[in-house]
Structure 1
Amino acid sequence: MHSPSTPAARRRRGATAVGALAVSGALLLSPGLTAASAAPANAAQANASQANAAQADAVAAAASQLTLADTTFAVGDSITAEYATDRPTDRNWVAVYPASAETPCSGCGFAWDYAPGESGSVSIPLNDRSGDPLPAGDYRLEYLYDDGWTRVGEPVSFTIEGDVAVPDPEQSQPGDPAAPVEIDPVATDVSTDGVIHREGFSVEGAPEGWTVESETDAGDYSAWTFTTRADWTGEIDEMRGRFARPLGVLAVADAQQSGGALDTTLTSAPVSVDGLASARLTFDSHYRGAAGQSGVVSVSFDGGASSEILRLDSESVADDYDARQMNYAQDVVVEVPEDAEEAVFSWQFTADEGARYWAIDSVAVHEVLKATEARPTQAWVMSDIQGHPADFEHALGDYSEIAPEADGMLLVGDIVNSGTSGEWQEIYDVMDATADIRPRQTVAANGNHERYAPGGFDANMERFFAFAEREQPWAEYVIEGPAGDLPVIVLGQEFGSPTDVAMSDEQVAFFEERLAHWTALDKQVVVMTHFPLGDTVSASWIPGYHGHHQMNDRLTSILGNYPNAILFTGHTHYPADLGDWAVQRRTDDGHPDGFRAINTIAMHIEWDARGENTAGISEVTTRDINQGLTLDSYGDRVVVTAYDFATDEQLRQVEIANPLVAFDADVRPAPENPDPENPDPGTPEPENPEPEAPGNPGGGSGDTGDAENPAADDETAAGDLATTGADLPWGLGLAAGALVLGGLGLALRARRNA
């Protein structure tokens, strides 16, 4: 999970760690190495510890101090400090930070050790997070309180002197994060992407043909307002900053900032739906509910009466905070009346004084993708096992029942807890024990936990490479199955520093070339890397997540040109029921639909954010979990389904159409032998559809939601997308799947191109 600079991260990595090492404080380059000592005694303690993160600038206790015998050290030295305090705890700690970090924060420090009791000393190696010596420069030693970021005493500054090692010209070096991305976005149109109309917003006012009406007197936020994320959160945050989907300008209805009751409606321009049997409305949505507040989406056809297709209110959404409705993508399918030519959509926000807000962006109207009966190329997808071989083996057993004919297994990092040989042997033992039920091909990415064992970055990576059966962090694989080839591109940390995922220009060039190659072949491409990119999946709206990838902006810009790219990332351990479990990430200069990003959840410990404001946000452990995904590739779409292996439940499902191949739209059939002299023969009666098993999509191209919590999904029967088989019990779904798959007898093939 988080970078190894804080004890709070230690809890994430190993609150129930198996086989964790006990080492001296001088070797504590990673919290994952002594996880047991950092586990909170109870949830309240965890919450209290994390809450301290928002108090980093609190006044230090006058009777607490750090003392250094010297303030100048050589590259490769250790630093020894004496400490004393009148606020002793077993989890006070001392950490090395760069002088440029104004306050202690998660992910921005280096080596650390606990400083228990009223007084004592600590000795800490002056190394970065991967065990390499820190370069010459100015640094600071922080004395912090109880696994949090509150200062116990004032920090002490020191300097590291010495020559930086001269890079070996024969060795690859970290690349240039600011290198220009010169890629033309992939060209698509309605015949391949199924998008009839897209609409963004401008601060200049409503788009052409759109209208805003309000029953409220003029004033700030007295109606739907077009603003930027920065301006909207300038006066007050209160979870507004979590809306990370908007590209630039968003539309906001904000009763809290209007200062009174609010009743305002945003209405679209007419959109052609001629010839369609159904249409699909999608938009980015950030809704925080309150008593006396509602958000209603309606549609009218050809100037007729409006029909409600989505309602957000106290009956369907939890007041004050509903995890599903924050940073979400609403996805509503509506039946189009016969002979209808145009549709107009409206968003009405009604709220009493003191209520909350609703923000939207990236409105699009789509054709609806017909269901498919094809047999998919399948993969199991999982991450963050973190030294829990029993959970891993349990999950593989469940996978073998859910998708027994899967063609590949994708491990998206943090397979082990620290990277020791013993931990890897536990994974090998599980792999051997499940050889008869696993897919024949395994694809692995390295995470942060693979590099924490003593011996340095290179030694740890060698053990990962032995498991992955390759010689470098990046690679290309092809998973072959019934629906054709599924290309998988793996990216990973190549160097011990300067960030968690430092990459060479060579790795980025490889990524660009192979992504372009598969795009030219009209393929959807799976990209897997352990750390999320900023402003993609859950938790990545937190500013610190933008810095894990050295190439964060460069990679985001590359991916933004490819709407056929699907990025799988782990690391955050955030719940699958959050609104941003799966997102559509757009970029300024890329394709208007951007790329998809999906959180691979975790097989060990769930985390979530706490706090009203993005600045000073804290993160807490919530429970132990064992969860993962399946991926079904049909050629014209990919379906990703999230499962909980501990409770035997299906959690979420999202369908992503391939925007590079012909879009099989749900259109009204043309009459046979049309004759203007004879009466209209009418529309043929639809055939009775067969029940569908989970993973066999029934049309649409969005998130099918949560069968256990319909109030958290896109509401109303007309607009509910949970009609693709996602609501079927596992047993019924698996039985149906077995009937379909049982007699096909297709030989599995697998190959890898490194």
Structure 2
Amino acid sequence: MTPPSRRSILTAGGLSLATIPLGGLTAGQAAARPKPTAAATLDVISDVQGDLADLGRALDNLAALGRSDALVIAGDLVAQGTVQQYEDLYGTLAAHSHPERVLAALGNHEQYNSDPFDAQVKRFLQYTGMPDVYSQTTAAGLPLLFIGTTAPAKNGTNPPFVTLGASQLDWLDGALATHADKPHVLVFSHHVLPGTVSGTVGPDAARFYDQDFVDEADLLTILGRHPNVVFFSGHTHWDLNRDDWAAKKVVEGGDPAGFTVVNTGFIQTMYGPDGSGGEEALSGAESQGLRLLVGEGGELTVESRDFRRDKLIRTLTL
């Protein structure tokens, strides 16, 4: 872990929040150190959105690195959530080597069609095999929690996208308390927390990314109590080469150590700042994601990877 180079303070839902970018090691720095020995591995991608060629390339890249316990797709599996798009997605998965277990979080693109919300969720659950939009399981020896919206987006294709609701928030609070003795608890959300990772923090942030969750203050309060949380989010498509790809988030009234937040990258199209408080598409050729290495002693190393060039970008050991 590199020392924090910047600290930002903001307010979300009345909470005072501190964000400390973690940066990690560059590929060159990581190459100069012994490679972590992994007892288990986990692969994480997000934002496929119909880009099946880049998905296939990402799967091939990850498979070449060696066996992984599971593949997590952190939302936006498809472009508009149609049956044919799900069929095409799982056809591509079948055509490439990948972990037998494929887990998924619900994204906003799964809802970009005219069907009722219940039908959209039912289709997502049917194809992914997930038990609900929020659930927990175990992979690579770690507890994995998935969260997602329980109601349709209030403004269609504009934020906010996620209403967690009281039942899900209570469940999350209880699940995290149950795993308080674990070195790490991985929480997967397609949508991004305000003021955390690339696109949401710093002078070049896209301001609308601070609006993804209707009940963000309640969510942050719960997460802030648990320093062993590693929160993974997609949605932004911002470059994992940035030093704010991962961060510590400290929530007022929570544990002073804060919890970790990590950007999961993207399969479809890299975005970045437009210089006017928004964002713009930078390249449709880029594609990035993560491999997680779980050590015998419980340490967790997050590797960000460039699928276009089949190379390591950064590493961060927690």
Q: TM-score range by the shorter chain?
A: 0.7 to 0.9
- Tell me the TM-score normalized by structure 1: 0.37
CA spacing shift, 1:422–1:524, aligned 2, 3 Å: same
Q: Per-residue deviation at 1:606?
A: 0.7
Q: Per-residue deviation at 1:619?
A: 1.0
Paired amino acid for 1:418: Q
Could you list the per-position Cα deviations for residues 277-328 of structure 1 after superposition, in whole angstroms to 9, with x for gaps in the alignment?
A: xxxx9543249xxxxxxxxxxxxxxxxxxxxxxxxxxxxxxxxxxxxxxx87
CA spacing shift, 1:518–1:574, aligned 2, 3 Å: same
Could you list the per-position Cα deviations for residues 9-33 of structure 1 after superposition, in whole angstroms to 9, with x for gaps in the alignment?
A: xxxxxxxxxxxxxxxxxxxxxxxxx
- 1:639 aligns with one of 276, 301, 304: 301
- Tell me the TM-score normalized by structure 2: 0.85
Q: What does residue 38 of structure 1 align with? A: none
Indicate conservation of the 8 Å contact 1:490/1:529, yes or no: yes
Q: Per-residue deviation at 1:540?
A: 1.4
Q: What does residue 16 of structure 2 align with? A: none
Could you list the per-position Cα deviations for residues 175-197 of structure 1 after superposition, in whole angstroms to 9, with x for gaps in the alignment?
A: xxxxxxxxxxxxxxxxxxxxxxx
Q: Per-residue deviation at 1:628?
A: 1.0
Q: What does residue 389 of structure 1 align with? A: 52
Structure 1 CA distance for aligned equivalents of residues 194 and 266 of structure 2: 19
- 1:466 aligns with one of 102, 126, 130: 126
Q: What does residue 493 of structure 1 align with? A: 149
Structure 2 CA distance for aligned equivalents of residues 286 and 644 of structure 1: 25
Could you list the per-position Cα deviations for residues 406-461 of structure 1 after superposition, in whole angstroms to 9, with x for gaps in the alignment?
A: 11111100010000111011012112223xx3212111001010001222322222
Q: Per-residue deviation at 1:544?
A: 2.3
Identity in percent: 27
Q: What does residue 538 of structure 1 align with? A: 198
Note the 1:365-514 alignment, pairs <5 A.
374-402=37-65, 404-434=66-96, 437-480=97-140, 485-498=141-154, 499-514=160-175
Could you list the per-position Cα deviations for residues 319-372 of structure 1 after superposition, in whole angstroms to 9, with x for gaps in the alignment?
A: xxxxxxxx8747899xxxxxxxxxxxxxxxxxxxxxxxxxxxxxxxxxxxx979
Tell me the SS of whatever aligns to 2:142: strand
Q: Which has the higher helix share?
A: 2
Structure 1 CA distance for aligned equivalents of residues 170 and 144 of structure 2: 16
Paired amino acid for 1:424: Y
Structure having the higher Rg = 1
Q: Does 1:284 align with 2:4?
A: yes
Tell me the SS of whatever aligns to 1:473: coil
Q: Per-residue deviation at 1:603?
A: 0.6
Could you list the per-position Cα deviations for residues 479-503 of structure 1 after superposition, in whole angstroms to 9, with x for gaps in the alignment?
A: 14xxxx2110000011114430111
Structure 1 CA distance for aligned equivalents of residues 294 and 2 of structure 2: 22
CA spacing shift, 1:627–1:418, aligned 2, 3 Å: same
Structure 1 CA distance for aligned equivalents of residues 109 and 229 of structure 2: 26
Indicate conservation of the 8 Å contact 1:282/1:329, yes or no: no
Q: Per-residue deviation at 1:471?
A: 4.2
Indicate conservation of the 8 Å contact 1:377/1:633, yes or no: yes
Q: What does residue 548 of structure 1 align with? A: 212
Indicate conservation of the 8 Å contact 2:23/2:316, yes or no: no
Q: Tell me the matched-pair count.
A: 289
Q: Per-residue deviation at 1:523?
A: 3.3
Note the 1:251-330 alignment, pairs <5 A.
283-286=3-6, 329=21
Tell me the SS of whatever aligns to 2:230: strand
CA spacing shift, 1:400–1:594, aligned 2, 3 Å: same
Structure 2 CA distance for aligned equivalents of residues 470 and 408 of structure 1: 13
Between stretches 494-503 and 647-656, larger displacement belongs to: 494-503
CA spacing shift, 1:371–1:650, aligned 2, 3 Å: closer
Structure 1 unaligned blocks of 5 or more = 1-280, 288-326, 334-369, 657-754
Q: What does residue 245 of structure 2 align with? A: 581
Could you list the per-position Cα deviations for residues 567-624 of structure 1 after superposition, in whole angstroms to 9, with x for gaps in the alignment?
A: 000000001121210001111111112000010110111111132xxxx512111112
Structure 1 CA distance for aligned equivalents of residues 145 and 21 of structure 2: 26
Indicate conservation of the 8 Å contact 1:478/1:487, yes or no: yes
Q: Does 1:568 align with 2:271?
A: no
Structure 1 CA distance for aligned equivalents of residues 86 and 128 of structure 2: 11
CA spacing shift, 1:373–1:597, aligned 2, 3 Å: closer
CA spacing shift, 1:591–1:328, aligned 2, 3 Å: closer
Structure 1 CA distance for aligned equivalents of residues 120 and 172 of structure 2: 24
Structure 2 unaligned blocks of 5 or more = 8-18, 26-32, 155-159
Structure 2 CA distance for aligned equivalents of residues 547 and 396 of structure 1: 32
Structure 2 CA distance for aligned equivalents of residues 332 and 576 of structure 1: 11
Structure 1 CA distance for aligned equivalents of residues 61 and 3 of structure 2: 34
Structure 1 CA distance for aligned equivalents of residues 175 and 100 of structure 2: 24
Indicate conservation of the 8 Å contact 1:443/1:477, yes or no: no
Note the 1:666-681 alignment, pairs <5 A.
none
Structure 2 CA distance for aligned equivalents of residues 626 and 564 of structure 1: 29
Task: Name the structure, 1 or 2, with higher relative contact order (CA <8 Å, separation 6+).
Answer: 2
Paired amino acid for 2:142: L
Structure 2 CA distance for aligned equivalents of residues 534 and 330 of structure 1: 16
